[in-house]
Amino acid sequence: MNEALIQVQNLLALSTNWNGYDALAPDTDAIKHAENWVTRLYLEVALHTKQQRLGYSGTYSISSDGSTSSVRASLFSVVVVTSW
C-alpha cells in the first residue's frame, strides 16, 4: 500500500502540460480522494482476507463518486475488479 500511496502523492509534483498535450496539473482534492480510496481499499481487502481465514465468505464493495470496486477473496488469492 505504501508504494501506491507514494505514486499517488508524486502526482503533486506534476505541473500544467506535464504530458506535452496541455494537460492540467493534477487537482489536489482529487489526489487526496485517491489516497483515501487506496487506503480504504487496502483496509477492505485486509478485513476480507481476515474474515476468509476465519471462515466467512462474500463480496464487499467500496463505492465512491460513481465508481464501484468489488473485492472478492478465495483461499489463495485476492482479486480486485474495478468498473467505472
Residues 51, 64 contacting (CB under 8 angstroms): no
Q: Name the DSSP letter for residue 81.
A: E
pLDDT score recorded for residue 5: 92
- 13-63 residue pLDDT tens: 999 999 999 999 999 999 999 999 999 999 988 888 877 777 765 555 555
* Cell numbers at 8, concatenated: 499517488
Q: Which residues pair with 68 in a beta bridge?
A: 63, 83
pLDDT score recorded for residue 16: 95
| DSSP-based three-state secondary structure for 69 | strand
